[in-house]
Amino acid sequence: MIKTPYLLFLGDAPDGLAAKVAQGIKDWRPENCVGQFRMEGCKADLGLTDMTLAEAKEAGAKTLVVGVANRGGKISQAWKKVLVMALEEGFDLASGLHNLLRNEPDLVAVAEATGRALHDVRVPEVEYPIADGVKRSGKRVLGVGTDCSVGKMYTGLALDKSMRDMGMKSTFRATGQTGILITGDGVPLDAVVADFMAGSIEWLTPDNDADHWDVIEGQGSLFHVSFSGVTLALIHGGQPDALILCHEPTRTHMRGLPGYDLPSLEALRDMALPLARVANPDCVVAGISINTQHMGEAEAVAYLKELEDRMGLPAVDPYRHGADRLAEALAAL
């Protein structure tokens, strides 16, 4: 568990896109963000107060979060200087970089000397159990996609927000690096050893109040041959009460797999629901989330309308129109 609130480190980001992890944290958990730290030449700006390490410490920040991609796959000496000073000032560090903080001997040495923690959110820090399949109390919803990277995390975060805005009990359960940095907690599922995948999701979504919803971040796709096993572990470990079908309608083939067509939403439903019912016989498909970023407004609205009529389920783009209708569908279950 990463200590909040954060000071967001934007480094020398060449543009806003390079700082998209920091942007996600600021968008979804503004209450966790005390300010931003930008180095000379940084072209990203989250609109947060620029702070020195001392100012952020004074304002209560506990962790410096590396919310920016590094260039050249190496933690530069310029970054290092800031990270070391942050440890010396009493901050923990958290990062989702491929290059792990724990593989940098200077950071490790200073963290040990100062008693601070280094969080590499790509690496599991827990010994997860093997799944036991026992039915847990509380409700769970999971996004399943026709493909990878169709908006499952965004859907989950938007749904969680809508549910809490409506007064429902909800917790977003992160299963990937960005989600973990946003919420400060979660399971980096793609890095978990095979035998413990489903167990890690059971661990992540324990017994809860009968009217509480865990909104589990989806990963991969049952139709994506590289990562489908991860998806099925999520379905069986999460034992969801409801599935949200996620789709990006303009994609011409599966991400990274030129020879593979995307399935229809009907095919996704017909594959995912019987599998989900192995773990939870009462599971239903509750709605559809469409990433319409490559469509105009009129085209998007017409597409969603056609989809609703065709499949008899609420269909929304949570980015354009919010996720309230999905939350309402869950509330009505």
Task: Indicate the residue among 81 and 253 with the shorter CB distance to a second copy.
Answer: 253
Size (the chain), residues:
333
Nearer to a second copy, 147 or 160 (CB): 147
In the block, tokens 């919310």 appear at 67
Q: How far apart are CA 282 and CA 299, in angstroms?
A: 35
Q: Which CB atom, from 37 or from 128, has the smaller least distance to a second copy?
A: 128
If the CB atoms of residues 32 and 239 are measured against a second copy, the closer one turns out to be 239
The nearest distance, CB 328 to a second copy, in angstroms, is 30
Q: With residue 93 as reference, give the H or E element that holds it.
A: strand 92-95
Q: CA 180, CA 293: separation in Å to the nearest integer?
A: 24
Nearer to a second copy, 45 or 195 (CB): 195
Alpha-carbon distance of 320 to 293, in angstroms, equals: 9
Q: Among 328, 305, 331, 309, which residue's Cα sits nearest to residue 317?
A: 305
CA angle 96, 230, 224 (to 5 degrees): 100
> How far apart, in Å, are the Cα atoms of 27 and each of 232, 272, 332?
29, 30, 28
Residue with tokens 């796959």: 73
- Counting Cα atoms < 13 Å in the Cβ hemisphere of 308 gives 12
CB 2 → a second copy: shortest distance, Å?
A: 22
Sign (positive or negative) of CA dihedral 150, 151, 156, 159: negative
Q: Are 236 and 275 in contact (CB under 8 A)?
A: yes
What is the closest distance, in whole angstroms, from the C-beta atom of residue 263 to a second copy in the complex?
Answer: 8
Least separation in angstroms between residue 280's CB and a second copy is 10
Burial readout 121-141 (b: 16 or more C-beta within 10 A, e: otherwise)? bbebeeebeebeeeebebbbb
Identity of the residue, 116 or 255, whose beta carbon is nearer to a second copy in the bound complex = 255
In the complex, the smallest distance separating the C-beta of residue 169 from a second copy, rounded to whole angstroms, is 25
In the complex, what is the shortest distance from the CB of residue 267 to a second copy, in angstroms, rounded to a whole number? 8
Q: Which is nearer to a second copy, 21 or 235 (CB)?
A: 235
Residue with smaller CB distance to a second copy, 238 or 318:
238
Q: Which is nearer to a second copy, 260 or 319 (CB)?
A: 260
User: Considering the complex, what minimum distance in angstroms separates the CB of residue 271 from a second copy?
Assistant: 6
Least distance CB 139 / a second copy (angstroms): 18
- One DSSP character per residue, 246-293 reads EE-TT--SBTTBTT-PPPPHHHHHHHHHHHHHHH-TT-EEEEEEE--T
Nearest Cα residue to 192 out of 144, 120, 119, 126: 126
Footprint of a second copy (CB under 8 A): 130-135, 189-195, 197-199, 222-223, 225-233, 236-237, 239, 254, 256-257, 259-260, 263, 271, 274-275, 278-279
Q: How far is the CB of 128 from a second copy (least distance, A)?
A: 11
